[in-house]
């Protein structure tokens, strides 16, 4: 299958490498020193599930150079999705599927503003990985998996081929009949990333201190409440399951948003805790923990975006 990876960082780099390793025609879209290294040496993946170096792939800087694709895997930061949507349209044929893997719950809506709704999936992934250096992806924890599906589950037959594609590449995959609920369940968990940034802590440190653990749970409860008020089916015991999930993460690990804020880079803060605030305000409910965390980081975010 012809696969285009837009955003060749920790997520796109990992999944693209596994798809290329399985023999698919993969094109990676990247930029800067990362792109230069990819073009010279290929993509080097260092993974707890086995290392690989990918040379038999294309590495380009412009979407226009990627050419037509059967699957477009969108792995850029959340704030880049809306801007890229019109450009993605130029790569699509009648059977092309677009699968966004952003954190948050807004990507599909932003894509379908410019692309056919019956070709845009909703999706999420689970993996802890990052760019270790130009051309090098490091996968440190979590069995990599992808969950995907159409908002209208009647369209899921169009995506049946993806399960085979991913599983042949050693990627655990599931086509969901309730993808909105799946997105929200991941969204609940990732919203703690900003609290990690604010406390300058790892998952292990945050969960081991009773005071910060209690605030983490309160944060999750707020997001779950907003999801339920938005009409999403979230089980009453789900926050407890999320806390148990966080307890399984390697103690030294952090999240990509956390690292971006620490490094003074633009982050997905507005698409995570910021989105919780906007949705809560529309619903007329209070989310004081998320509001405090978001507002505490807002100046750093604006500084990173050169808005101050």
CATH of the domain at 172: 3.40.50.720
- Domain with 172 in it: 2-177
pLDDT at 99 over 90: yes
The string of pLDDT tens digits covering residues 295-307 is 999 999 999 999 9
Q: Give long-range contacts, CB 8 A cutoff, 24+ apart: 92-98.
A: 92/68, 92/116, 92/119, 93/68, 95/70, 96/68, 96/69, 96/70, 96/71, 96/72, 97/70, 97/71, 97/72, 97/121, 97/158, 97/159, 97/162, 98/71, 98/72, 98/74
What single-letter DSSP state applies at residue 119?
G
Check residue 70 and give its pLDDT.
96
Number of domains in the chain: 2
What does the pLDDT look like over 10-61, one tens digit per residue?
999 999 999 999 999 999 999 999 999 999 999 999 999 999 999 999 999 9
- Same domain? For 13 and 123 the reply is yes
Are 79 and 190 in the same domain?
no
Q: Mark whether 141 and 42 lie in a shared domain.
A: yes
Nearest alpha carbon to residue 134 among 59, 197, 64: 59
Last-in-domain residue among 140, 157, 177: 177
Query: What is residue 120's DSSP assignment?
Result: B
Q: Which of 132, 161, 177 is the last residue of a domain?
A: 177
Q: In terms of domains, do 197 and 126 share one?
A: no
Asked if residue 132 and residue 19 are part of one domain, the reply reads yes
165: confidence class by pLDDT, cuts 50, 70, 90:
very high
Same-domain check for residues 66 and 169 = yes
- The gap between the terminal CA atoms of the chain, to the nearest Å, is 45
**pLDDT of 131:** 95
Predicted confidence at residue 308, as pLDDT, reads 85
Q: Show Cβ contacts of residue 295 under 8 Å, excluding neighbours closer than 6 positions.
A: none
The pLDDT, as a whole number, for residue 141 is 87
Residues 6+ positions from 40 with CB-CB distance below 8 Å: 135
Question: Do the strands 52-54 and 43-47 form a parallel or antiparallel pair, or are they unpaired?
Answer: antiparallel
Please check whether residues 144 and 191 belong to one and the same domain.
no
Domain end residue (candidates: 116, 145, 177): 177
- pLDDT band for position 212 (cuts 50, 70, 90): very high
Residue 90, pLDDT above cutoff 90: no
Q: Do 105 and 209 sit in the same domain of this protein?
A: no
**Which class for 5: exposed (0-12), middle (13-18), buried (19 or more C-beta within 10 A)?**
buried
Residue 289 sits in a domain whose CATH number is 1.10.1040.10
245 touches 207 (CB < 8 A): no
pLDDT at 61: 95
Question: What pLDDT digit, counting tens, does each position of 215-274 carry?
Answer: 999 999 999 999 999 999 999 999 999 999 999 999 999 999 999 999 999 999 999 999
Considering the domain architecture, whether residues 149 and 194 belong to the same structural domain is answered as: no
- Which of 186, 213, 187 has its CA nearest to residue 199? 213
Same domain, 61 and 135: yes
Question: 103 near 122, Cβ under 8 Å?
Answer: no
Q: What is the pLDDT of residue 267?
A: 96
Q: What is the pLDDT of residues 167-177, one digit of tens each?
A: 999 999 999 99
Do 102 and 248 lie in one domain? The reply is: no
Residues 167 and 245 in one domain: no
For the chain, counts of helices (H) and of strands (E)? 13, 10
């Amino acid at each position: 299958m012809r696969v285009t990876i837009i955003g060749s960082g920790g997520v796109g780099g990992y999944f693209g490498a596994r798809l290329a390793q399985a023999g698919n025609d993969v094109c990676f879209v990247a930029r800067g020193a990362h792109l230069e290294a990819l073009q010279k040496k290929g993509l080097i993946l260092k993974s707890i599930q086995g290392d690989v170096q990918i040379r038999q792939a294309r590495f380009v800087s412009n979407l226009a150079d990627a050419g037509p694709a059967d699957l477009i895997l969108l792995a850029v930061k959340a704030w880049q999705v809306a801007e890229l949507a019109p450009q993605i349209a130029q790569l699509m044929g009648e059977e092309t599927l677009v699968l966004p893997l952003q954190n948050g719950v807004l990507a599909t809506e932003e894509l379908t503003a410019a692309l056919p709704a019956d070709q845009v999936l909703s999706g999420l992934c689970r993996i802890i990985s990052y760019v270790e250096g130009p051309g090098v992806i490091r996968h440190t924890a979590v069995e990599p998996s992808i969950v995907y599906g159409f908002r209208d589950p009647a369209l899921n037959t169009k995506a049946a081929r993806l399960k085979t594609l991913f599983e042949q590449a050693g990627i655990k995959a599931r086509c969901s009949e309730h993808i909105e609920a799946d997105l929200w369940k991941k969204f609940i968990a990732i919203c703690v990333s900003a609290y990690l940034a604010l406390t300058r802590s790892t998952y292990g440190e945050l969960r081991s201190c009773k005071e910060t653990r209690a605030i983490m749970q309160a944060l999750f409860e707020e997001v779950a409440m907003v999801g339920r008020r938005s009409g999403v089916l979230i089980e009453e015991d789900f926050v407890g399951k999320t806390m148990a999930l966080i307890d399984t993460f390697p103690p030294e690990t952090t999240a990509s948003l956390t690292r971006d804020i620490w490094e003074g880079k633009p982050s997905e803060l507005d698409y995570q805790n910021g989105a919780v605030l906007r949705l809560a305000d529309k619903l007329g409910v209070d989310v004081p923990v998320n509001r405090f965390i978001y507002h505490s980081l807002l100046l750093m975010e604006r500084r990173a975006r050169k808005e101050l």
